[in-house]
Amino acid sequence: MTNTTDDDKEVEDLEITLLLEGMFKRYGYDFRDYSMAHLRRRLRYRLESSSLPDMGAMLHLVLHDRSFFELLLRDLSINVTEMFRDPDIYLMIRNEIVPRLKTWPFVKIWHAGCATGEEVYSMAILLHEEGLLERCQIYATDFNQIALKKAKAGIFPLDQVRKFTSNYQKSGGRESFSDYYTADNDSVILKNWLKTRIVFADHNLVTDSVFSEMQLVVCRNVLIYFNRDLQERIFQTFYDSLCPGGFLWLGSKESLKLSAIGKRFEALFPDEKIYKRAL
C-alpha cells in the first residue's frame, strides 16, 4: 500500500513539473521554483473544484484554454493581506524608519507582490500623516492582473473596515480612519488623493528585473511560497534595487539570516524583519 502511495505521489510530482513547464513555455509565467508543498495544495484545490481526473487533464486544459489558465493563475497567486497588517510593525516604521527616510530629498518605495493593495494604501496613509507622502513615489507591483485591478480601484468590503480601523489605531494613526474613505453600500472607497503618489504596475518577481535606487522595498509574506534558490535570486534583486543605506521589510516568517546575501545587510530590527542595505 505504501509503495502505491509513493508511486502515485511520484507520478503526481512529475505531472506537476510538466504542468509548470507548460505554463512557462505557453504563457511565460514561471512557477517552477515555487515551494512544491504550496503548489501541490493549490493545484489539488483547482483539480477538485474543476472535477478533473488528474494533473494530466489539467495540463491539457492549461495549454488549450486560456480562460482556465487565468483561473489557475489566480489560484497560484498570493492575495492574503489587510490594511496595517501587524500594526506594531507599522508603528515601528512610523517611529524608526520614516525619520530616516526623511533624510533623503526624494523617496522611492517598492511594494513587491502588492496583491490587492491594502498595505500599499496603508503606507500612503502613514506617509501622509508623517508629512512625507508628497516627497515619495510608491511603486506597487504584482503579476496578478485581477489583483492589480482591485488595487487600483481602492474599493474594499465594508465588513473589513472594523479590522482595518483597529489596525490603524494600533499603528499610531493620527487621524480618524474614516477620513480616508467613503462608504458605498457594502463597500468602502478610498479617497482618490491617496493614489496620486502610487504607480501600479505588472511585474513578476520571478522573471522581471530590478527597480533602481529605492529607499525602501516592502515584500511581506511572499517569499515563503518560493524555494530556497528562488528566494536567493529575489534577495539579490532587492539588494540591487536598493540604494546604499536603503531598507528592506520582509514578512514575519521570512529572514535574511540564512541567506548568502545576508552579510550585505544590517539586521536593523531583526524581530520585525527590517533590514538595512550596507553602504
Architecture of domain 87-277: 3-Layer(aba) Sandwich (3.40)
d(CA 85, CA 71): 27
From first to last of the 279 residues of the chain, give the pLDDT tens digit: 444 477 777 888 888 899 999 998 998 888 888 888 888 888 998 999 999 998 889 999 999 999 999 889 888 876 668 999 999 999 999 999 999 999 999 999 999 999 999 999 999 999 999 999 999 999 999 988 888 999 999 999 999 999 999 999 999 999 999 999 999 889 999 999 999 999 999 999 888 888 889 999 999 988 988 888 999 999 999 999 999 999 999 998 899 988 999 999 999 999 999 999 997
CA distances from 203 to 89, 184, 189, 277 (A): 26, 31, 25, 22
pLDDT of 46-98, one tens digit each? 999 999 998 889 999 999 999 999 889 888 876 668 999 999 999 999 999 99
Residues 6+ apart with CB under 8 A from 35: 224, 225, 226, 227
Pairing of strands 187-190, 155-157: antiparallel
Predicted TM-score of the model (pTM): 0.85
Tell me which amino acid residue 180 is: Y
